[in-house]
Structure 1
Amino acid sequence: MGTVANQVIIENKKVLFDYEVIEEFEAGIVLMGSEVKSVRNGSANLKGAYITLHSGRPVLVGSHISEYKGSTGVIIDPKRERLILMSKKEILRIGQKVKETSATLVPVSIYSKGNIFKIRVALAKGRKKWEKKNLLKERDLDRESRKIY
């Protein structure tokens, strides 16, 4: 049997600009019914979302998964909190790092791995406004230096 490639469906492109990524993790995400088809269609948004620990369980807060147009079943709140699936050992390790470094857990992307949806989570520190400006200046200088006249 051949291997199934990971297909990125939703990506949070602002994460790399707004945050300095320290470490990345792979986790599962709990989706209900029609949310699966909505994510597969790309009708989800991770902008402004973050992950917090509620009673020792990681939860995705601030994401938006639109209602699937063809669904006739139960209507699910598009902004509801979604449970993130990780091993207990990994949760404890991440929780400790968040407390030590005062970092944030942010979702980077949602992708399918076979028939299962996974979420890439980053332990990241927020960048200040001046750091973002310096980053843009550095990128512009790199582009200018790579130009061939």
Structure 2
Amino acid sequence: MAKGKDNHDNLLAQNRKARFNYAISETFEAGISLTGTEIKSVRAGQITIGDGFVTIHDGQAILTNVHIAPYENGNQFNVDPLRNRPLLLHKRQIRTLAQAASESGVTIVPLKVYLKHGFAKVLIGIGRGKKQYDKRQDIKKRDQERELQRRFKN
């Protein structure tokens, strides 16, 4: 589980729609296995995780459908921008994710990508898809809180 502070100094990408579309129950911090030119693109902030998700295949967590733009100076060392990338997790964490993903309506989604001690990390969450009425309730609740803040401010 992700422990410690939730603020990440070197935030590179964030999936803002994930918490709106899914009820996130548990989060994990995982390393991403990247090539040399990919990490240079990630450090430049050229990563998109909006459509990404995590699958468990043969006891390995795989980050799928995440776009890392080719490094501009990478020439022949550049790889496919949408390739599947292995995540670095402990075996018990992978078992927990596999057990959760086997349930109906549960998806493992990337929430944030950031640098920690020079290494690219991804915060992934176990999310259960929200229904349309749940989303409307969230919007209503957010608007009410915003209105209260405005009233207290004045």
Counterpart in 2 of 1:72? Answer: 75
What residue is the counterpart of 1:54 in the other structure?
57
Deviation at 1:100, TM superposition (A): 4.3
User: Deviation digits for residues 50-93 of structure 1, max 9, x if unmatched?
Assistant: 00011121101111000111212323110111101111121112
Structure 2 unpaired stretches of 5+: 1-7
Secondary structure at 1:35 match in 2: helix
What's the TM-score once normalised by structure 1's chain length? Answer: 0.90
Q: Are 1:26 and 1:121, in contact at CA under 8 Å, matched by a contact in 2?
A: yes
Unaligned runs of at least 5 residues, structure 1: none
1:121 alignment partner AA: I
Given that residues 63 and 85 in structure 2 are in contact (C-alpha distance below 8 angstroms), is that contact kept between their aligned partners in structure 1?
yes
Counterpart-to-counterpart distance in 2, 1:13 and 1:100: 24
**Are residue 35 (structure 1) and residue 57 (structure 2) matched?**
no
Q: Taking every aligned residue pair, what percent have the same amino acid on both sides?
A: 33
Q: Distance in 2 between matches of 1:88 and 1:6?
A: 28
RMSD: 1.6
| 2:93 alignment counterpart | 90
SS of equivalent residue, structure 1 residue 73: helix
Aligned equivalent of 2:111: 108
Judge conservation of contact 1:52–1:105 (CA < 8 Å) in 2. Answer: yes
Aligned residue for 2:3?
A: none
Q: CA deviation at 1:102?
A: 4.3
Deviates more, 1:74-83 or 1:96-105: 96-105
**Distance between the aligned counterparts of 2:52 and 2:39, measured in 1?**
18
CA contact (8 A) 2:21 2:129 kept: yes
Report the TM-score when normalising by structure 2.
0.87
Map of 2:136 onto structure 1:
133
8 Å contact from structure 1 (residues 11, 46) kept in 2: yes
Provide the rounded CA distance (Å) in 2 between the counterparts of 1:147 and 1:110.
32
1: distance between equivalents of 2:9 and 2:20? 24
How many residues align? The count is: 145
- Match among 110, 114, 121 for residue 118 of structure 1: 121
Q: Deviations over 1:72-120 (max 9, x none)?
A: 2323110111101111121112212332464211101111111211111
